[in-house]
Amino acid sequence: MTYQKRVPLLMLLDSVIVLSAIYFAYFIVNPSSEFYTSKTLLISSLIILVSHHLFAFIYRLYHKAWEYASVGEMLTIFKAVTFSIVTAGVAQYVGVGHALVRVLFITWMLHMLLIGGSRFSWRMFRDWYLKPKVEKKRTLIVGAGSAGTMVARQLLHSEEVDLKPVAFVDDDPRKLKLEMFGLTVCGAIQDIPTIVEIEHIEDIIIAIPSITKSEIRRIYEICAQTDAEIQIMPMIEDVMTGKISVSELRNVEVEDLLGREPVELDISSINETITGATVLVTGAGGSIGSEICRQICNFNPSRLLLLGHGEFSIYNIDMELKKKYQNHIEIIPIIADVQDRNRIFEVMEQNRPDVVYHAAAHKHVPLMEYNPREAVKNNIIGTRNVAEAADTFSVKSFVLVSTDKAVNPPNVMGATKRFAEMIVQNLAKESNTKFVAVRFGNVLGSRGSVIPLFKKQIEAGGPVTVTHKDMTRYFMTIPEASRLVIQAGTLARGGEVFVLDMGEPVKISDLAKNLITLSGFTLDEIKIEYTGMRPGEKMYEELLNENEVQQKQVFPKIHIGKAEPLGKIELYEIISNLEEMPVEEVKETLIQVANTKYSPALELAR
């Protein structure tokens, strides 16, 4: 019904209600009187009618969408009706010296009942008879707080979502058996399996935005005992700011089950370093490098240089960023190999970056065991080229992306990253450029990580291969890793190794089990197969060795380690010898030197 037709119809309906109510009220008070024919009652009726429509327009009573009516709309009716009755009472008092209080009170009650009832009856009629009947999945909401009720309300009134909320669960005993929007709090979280069976639940929504990672994991493990699909509501901040709707639910991801809280860094100080600056990112097409570029763009550098060896990956990140930022950031794709010293110096001289984030590296542990010379050329020689070019052309700060595998490394990849750390630490002692390294653990979803591998194996029907049932790793998300790298550039004084407090390590076997159940399978359907440790792998990984640990945090959840490097002359002589050694000697020397804690390491290479 159009607005032009709707308003006159509502006004006519209200007029009938108003006039009928005052005469019926007077009849209730004085059933034997003929006062209802008097001018006083007639004038009172007209005053109430006019004032009702006046206040109805003031409070926009005829502009409400009554199919979505709730407490707010009832309050509007209350204000319009109350002020119209008060106006009539004042007019009676002024005109005849007294007000018909009892008559007006009953009139007020009848107005509220009939006007409110007419509006809400339309909503009920629409909900029950006019809405198309769509089969919806019976849904249980975990959390009967403000977020849970917000989810319930939106699902109840949404025609697009195929979910029908039927009950709540909540651990607060004060809410047990209470009803909200017609839904009962049926029990506590531990009762979910029973409630799912009794209520024939097909979908479970976790609606507790303040929940910790460990609590999400506990709830998920309880929900996983059922056959219901498990979803989680978006962040309440995104809902309140209007970025997304409550109904935009997402599946529980493996990141939600890590059991530690994500580190949210204060990146406001980064503005000073990046805004208006020229920033160079090596390895810009990789998982970490590309995310560093995305994060940097939030701080409006004047130019962003995307340097990488792979044409396709650089093309992808270049197109992505230009589509979003080309109007205010100059984005320059650069195809170059960090092993090509002349080309790297040429790029630095032409573009004169203020900040360099060095993310280019070979990082796959087993592959580097078979190709140690390539690891040396890319991770060591490549780092030296980029770092020395940064020093030569007076870059303000240089951040090396390192790894927890550089601590006591038993493998080629970790050893070459420790060499890279020592290169920038030595340069920090003599350069005006602030050189630092950043260590973190495994990155979820990055190329070569276990998550994409597990997902492919699950899609193929299994088995999921895990090297050892007790193997553990530290994990973080790609955005977390990238924020840490950027933050390190603002904290750097020179020579530091920054380390994120990554909480407790996670068993790879537990990660595999969680991913199988998140994919909708049981451990009986997708088996886990233990294949044995691969060349160069460690059972447990460290972020700092016992000689490097400093308990004090330089920033919330960021530690600083002062890992002592080998002297520059000794280090560079070893690197020079590595390029000429037989492959087996390269591996042995790399690991031996990287694990040595004192300067006589030179002896090992002679």
pLDDT at 207: 86
Mean pLDDT of 189-211: 89
> Above pLDDT 70, what percent of the chain?
77
- Among residues 579, 163, 221, 224, the alpha carbon closest in space to that of 375 is found at 579
Catalytic residue (choose from 5, 131, 136, 405): 405
CATH architecture label of 137-252: 3-Layer(aba) Sandwich (3.40)
Model pLDDT, residue 261: 62
| Mean residue pLDDT across the chain | 79
| Residue 182 backbone phi and psi in degrees, to 5 | 80, 5
**Which is higher by pLDDT, 44 or 391?**
391
Whether 409 contacts 594, CB under 8 Å: yes
44 contacts 16 by C-beta, under 8 angstroms: no
Alpha-carbon span 576 to 417, nearest angstrom: 16
- Two tokens, residue 443: 């990155």
Measured CA to CA in angstroms, residue 175 lies from 156, 169, 182, 221 at distances of 20, 9, 14, 23
Confidence band of 130 (pLDDT split at 50, 70, 90)? low
Lowest mean pLDDT among 257-271, 291-305, 487-501, 558-572: 257-271
The partner residues of 137 in beta bridges, in order of sequence, read 163
Closest listed residue to residue 353, CA positions, set 295, 299, 301, 279: 279
Mean pLDDT of 496-520: 77
Place of tokens 């999400």: 216
Rounded CA separation 162/155 (Å): 8
Task: Please tell me the distance from the alpha carbon of residue 390 to that of residue 490, in angstroms, as a whole number.
Answer: 17
Instruction: State the Cα–Cα distance between residues 535 and 418, nearest whole angstrom.
Output: 18
Average pLDDT in the 400-415 region?
A: 87
181-197 confidence digits (pLDDT tens): 888 999 999 999 999 99
pLDDT digits (tens, 9 = 90+) for 145-162: 888 888 888 788 776 677
For the domain spanning 270-605, the CATH number is: 3.40.50.720
User: pTM value?
Assistant: 0.64
405 annotated active-site: yes
DSSP label of 400: E
271 contacts: CB under 8 Å, gap ≥ 6 = 299
Residue 69 scores a pLDDT above 60: no
Q: Where in the chain is the domain with CATH 3.40.50.720?
A: 137-252, 270-605
Largest Cα separation within the chain, whole Å, is 123
Q: Per-residue pLDDT for 447 more than 70?
A: no
What one-character-per-residue DSSP string does 459-497 give? HTT-PEEES-TT-EE-EEEHHHHHHHHHHHHHH--SS-E
DSSP string, 478-545: HHHHHHHHHHHHHH--SS-EEEE---S-EEHHHHHHHHHHHTT--TTTS-EEE--PPTT--SS--SS-
**What integer pLDDT is reported at residue 254 of this predicted model?**
64
Query: If DSSP states are collapsed to H, E and C, what string results for 198-219?
Result: HHCCCEEEECCCCCCHHHHHHH
pLDDT confidence of residue 605: 30
